[in-house]
Amino acid sequence: MATLAHGTPEIAAEEPVNYLNVEHGWKSWLFTTDHKRIAVLYLISITLMFFVGGFMAVLFRINLLEPEGIFSAETYNRLFSMHGIVMVFFFLVPSIPATLANFLIPIMIGAKDLAFPRINLLSWYIYVVGAILTMYAVVRGGVDTGWTFYAPYSSTFSNSYVLAAAFGVFTAGFSSILTGLNFIVTVHKMRAPGMTWSRLPLFVWSNYATGLIQVLGTPVLAIVLLLLAFERIAHVGIFDPNIGGDPILFQHLFWFYSHPAVYIMILPGMGVISEIVSCFSRKRVFGYNFVAFSSMAIAVLSFVVWGHHMFITGESVYTGLAFSFLSFMVAVPSAIKVFNWTATMYKGSVSFDTPMLYAFGFIGLFTIGGLTGLFLATLATDVATHGTYFVVAHFHYVMVGGMVMAFLGGIHFWWPKMTGRMYSEAWSKFAALIVFIGFNLTFFPQFILGYMGMPRRYHAYPPEFQALNVLSSAGASVLGVGYIIPMIYLLWSLKYGPKAGPNPWGAAGLEWQTQSPPTTFNFDETPIVTEEAYNYGPLEEVIG
């Protein structure tokens, strides 16, 4: 990898054929089986959904400016529920896997495409159908059950459009399953000669672990939502206490998917951070094997901790103890990752390009989000903080402070590869700073609010909480600006950005050895890998 061809400056030369300009017209996009084009389709769709979900957040943050609320309780309930549903199932779950990983995994392992290109396209169509169903529920008036659809409220009492939203989520689940399945088979069967498991980039490892969770967890969500839908249609069912059914069973089945799902929403981000930290420290990731296996450990542990969502909803003390202990165990592989990223930077040639700024943001915010997770894994503390804004702040530190930061970092890191263009360095650094400030301003007050006892999911609150709520709403608007700025300069760069060479960061990895943007089949001939990942040499040799 150290013997890269120097990018010869092409002045006014015709652009070489790549996956973007090889074909034109909407048919060439809607019927494509190229993983890179499908990744772009996904990127457009999830960005749309991100702003839909974000818009709802703006509305309910406006509501919370006043202690007595501005909207009715019903409206507020629908806003936060739809925010959760859209953000979790239509943005966070597909965010990095369906876009960056879809684009990068085949290139990173030296393959021409994913193992099942047509299934990959199918997964996007399924996603779109799910999104349309959910948007139908939104337009008709929304759902007020929270993103968790807890029975018996969702099955019996709610007057909102539960069925449409549940079917939307059910459908989107299959797109997630197909993505995960494709990744698993691709990583097993499509690696280029010499690309052994221990040479895989850590981004591939983390998405492989994510694929396992998607494949094993999502079908359980599918069946529990289906049982819920049947119960809503038949007015009787297995979660109905009237006939001896147990609503707690719904929670068990739901969290059997949805707890692992929160690792679907963080593992790919950890993979991105490993790539970025290594590149901008110009060092091999410290303890490669440990970081790789910590992804697998998180995937395995994710399936045995769901009970910590139910400490106060009817679970025996002994079950609680076991789940509490197992939840603490998750901290071990998570901490391994954080320590190893830090150790990678130690004595490295650290530079402060935009992707690295997002990586710094990720490491700090994920650490806070992870450590507060331990407060919540502790039985006694959880009794006090469960159902308060402390929980809201905790998972937003992981999901937004972690995953969205990683997603933005990844987009900035691979943007030149995906589009062949560079964006404005100054604007992107500015935006990264705004996102960081806005994020902390929004969510740090929520830790305090939660600790003071403000419950989540209420449209009104006691007046003494107003100052912190106003601070949080103000932060949300800063955060919103931080998300809109990258939209503008990234779109701008598509037309006016300077052309990027094959390897603008001087990064190691197969994806930087092919042209930017890559050709349809990624490589002219299948690469033969002869060295481990992250084999960084002196900087000046490799930048192209």
Partner 1 sequence: MAETVIPVGQEPTAEETHLRHHFATPAQQMDAATLGMWTFLITEVLFFGGMFAAYAIYRGMYMDAFASTSEFMNVVLGGTNTAVLICSSLTMALGVRAAQLSNRKQLQLFLVLTMIFGTIFLVIKGFEYHAKWVEHLVPGFNFHYPIPQFERHAQILFFLYFCMTGMHALHMIVGLGLLSYLLIQATRKVFSATYYAPVEMIGLYWHFVDIVWIFLFPLLYLIGHRK
Residues in contact with partner 1 by CB under 8 A are 111-117, 119, 177, 181-182, 184-186, 188-190, 193, 215-220, 222-224, 226-227, 230, 233-238, 242-246, 249, 253, 256, 521, 526
Q: In whole angstroms, how close is the CB of 467 to partner 1 at the nearest point?
A: 45
Q: 388 with 453: CB under 8 angstroms? A: yes
Between 217 and 373, name the residue whose CB sits nearer to partner 1.
217
Minimum separation from the CB atom of position 117 to partner 1 (A): 7
What would the DSSP string read from start to end of 108-134? HTT-SS-S-HHHHHHHHHHHHHHHHHH
**Three-class SS string for 134-153?**
HHHHHHHCCCCCCCCCCCCH
Q: Which is nearer to partner 1, 118 or 140 (CB)?
A: 118
Report in angstroms how near the CB of residue 87 gets to partner 1 at its nearest. 24
Calpha distance 128→473 (Å, rounded): 31
- Residue closer to partner 1 by CB (options 116, 339) is 116
- Tell me the C-alpha distance between 147 and 129, whole Å: 19
Taking the least distance from each CB to partner 1, the nearer of 296 and 371 is: 296
Task: Tell the smallest beta-carbon distance from residue 115 to partner 1 (Å).
Answer: 4
Q: Residue 450 and residue 468: Cα distance in Å, rounded?
A: 11
What token pair was written down for 420? 């062949």
In terms of CB distance, is 113 or 144 closer to partner 1? 113
Residue 256 or 415: the one with the smaller Cβ distance to partner 1 is: 256
Decide: 123 and 41 in contact? Cβ < 8 Å. Answer: no
Other C-beta atoms closer than 10 Å to the C-beta of 27 total 9
The token duo for 307 is 């009970």
237 vs 450, which CB is nearer to partner 1? 237
CA distance 163 to 141: 12
d(CA 444, CA 328): 23
421: β partners: 499
Q: Where are the alpha helices (DSSP H) in 267-311?
A: 267-281, 288-301
| CA 484, chain centre distance (Å) | 18
- What is the per-residue burial (b if ≥16 Cβ within 10 Å, else e) of 339-360? ebbebbbeebeeeebbbbbbbb
Distance from C-alpha of 370 to C-alpha of 413, rounded to nearest angstrom? 25
In sequence order, what are the beta bridge partners of 455?
Answer: 388
CB of 130 to partner 1, least distance (A): 17
Whole-angstrom Cα distance, residue 432 to residue 436?
Answer: 6
Report, in Å, the least distance between residue 4 CB and partner 1: 24
**What residues have CB less than 8 Å from 356, skipping those under 6 apart?**
276, 277, 280, 350, 409
Minimum CB separation of residue 185 from partner 1 in Å reads 5
CB of 91 to partner 1, least distance (A): 23
Question: Residue 88 and residue 94: Cα distance in Å, rounded?
Answer: 9
Q: What whole-number distance in Å separates Cα of residue 209 and Cα of residue 534?
A: 20
Task: Give the nearest distance from C-beta 196 to partner 1 in angstroms.
Answer: 12
The span from the CA of 129 to the CA of 234, in Å, is 25
Residue (248 or 371) nearer to partner 1, CB? 248
Selection from 181, 205, 208, 170 nearest residue 90 by Cα: 170
Smallest separation (angstroms) from partner 1 to the CB of 35: 9
Shortest distance, CB of residue 42 to partner 1, whole angstroms?
Answer: 19
Q: Which is nearer to partner 1, 249 or 335 (CB)?
A: 249
Structure tokens that stand for 50 in this block: 């991100």
Q: Which of 229/507 has CB closer to partner 1?
A: 229
Q: What minimum distance in Å lies between the beta carbon of 179 and partner 1?
A: 12
Q: Give just the sign of the alpha carbon dihedral 411, 417, 418, 419.
A: positive
